[in-house]
Amino acid sequence: MTTDPQYRRFTKRQILHVVTLAGFFICAAVLAGSWWHIAPLGGAGSWAEVLLPILALATTLVALARGLPAQNVILVAALIALISGIVETVGAKTGVPFGSFIYTENLGPQLFSLLPWPVPLIWVVVILNSRGVARLILRPWRKLGRYGLWVMGLTVLLAVVFDLGLEPFAARVNRYWIWRVSPRAPAWHTAPWVNFLGWAVTVLLILAFVTPWLINKRASKQQSPDYHPLVVWLTLNLFLTTGNATHQLWSAAGFGLLSGIIVTFFAMRGAHW
């Protein structure tokens, strides 16, 4: 049995990766199963709901740390959480840039009585995994000069696509927040369309700050495709789609299913190009 320290560190990282990913899958499956009355939760439901964003964040950061220094990963996560938290707080107070809305108690305790604690975590998970999926899709073109800009643009698009599934689930299924818009205003399941423009601008702003720390300067020329972001992105997308379907939000569920199929197709195509 080897006693090489590097081997031991590698093994611990792999174990942590497997544990966090498995825990994330279990929480998502338990919650989704409860909607179909497959697995009644009782008091465990609240724990699964609390653990899901935490484990989603944990498995995302652990996977990212396989290719980047730990300090980079921590800094990126902190910056995304900080910037998104500020933007979300301003949005809740002023209606800019997402439109007018209020948080409910269903999303859990609020930080400084302003922002529910899972919100910054959700932004970190969505942005980092959307970027990972974008890199997978664009893998055949990674040597092009404008590759970085294409990754940023596709990341923005994937984050907005994800939010199109999140908004019906959050606003109508679990009532995490309530949109205060005119019934006559153009909206997607009560979410005003300006919200998605706000998401696009916010994601782009965050990427402008964090991208330099997401570049692996010691990466080898031949890297195997990383499917972890796709797995997390699709699991969360399917989780939201299931929740929307069980509450008869068929347009949202149909969009989630279709977007998952399209993203999977292009991601696998890019990985095997």
Nearest CA to 179 out of 200, 198, 156, 203 is that of 198
Q: pTM of this prediction?
A: 0.92
Burial string for 37-67 (b: 16+ CB within 10 Å, else e) reads: eeeeeeeeeeebbebbbbbbbbbbbbbbbee
**Residue 76 near residue 214 (C-beta atoms within 8 A):** yes
The token duo for 167 is 């908004």
- The pLDDT value recorded for residue 37 is 61
- The pLDDT value recorded for residue 72 is 96
Residue 174 phi, psi dihedral angles, 5° rounding:
-105, -5
Nearest CA to 169 out of 244, 247, 257, 236 is that of 244
Classify 222 in phi/psi space as left (phi over 0), alpha (psi -120 to 50) or beta. Answer: beta
- The pLDDT value recorded for residue 6 is 47
- The pLDDT value recorded for residue 9 is 54
Question: What proportions of the chain, in percent to the nearest 5, are helix, strand and coil?
Answer: 70, 5, 25
Low-confidence ranges of the chain (pLDDT < 50): 1-2, 6-7, 43-44
Sequence ranges of the domains in the chain: 57-271
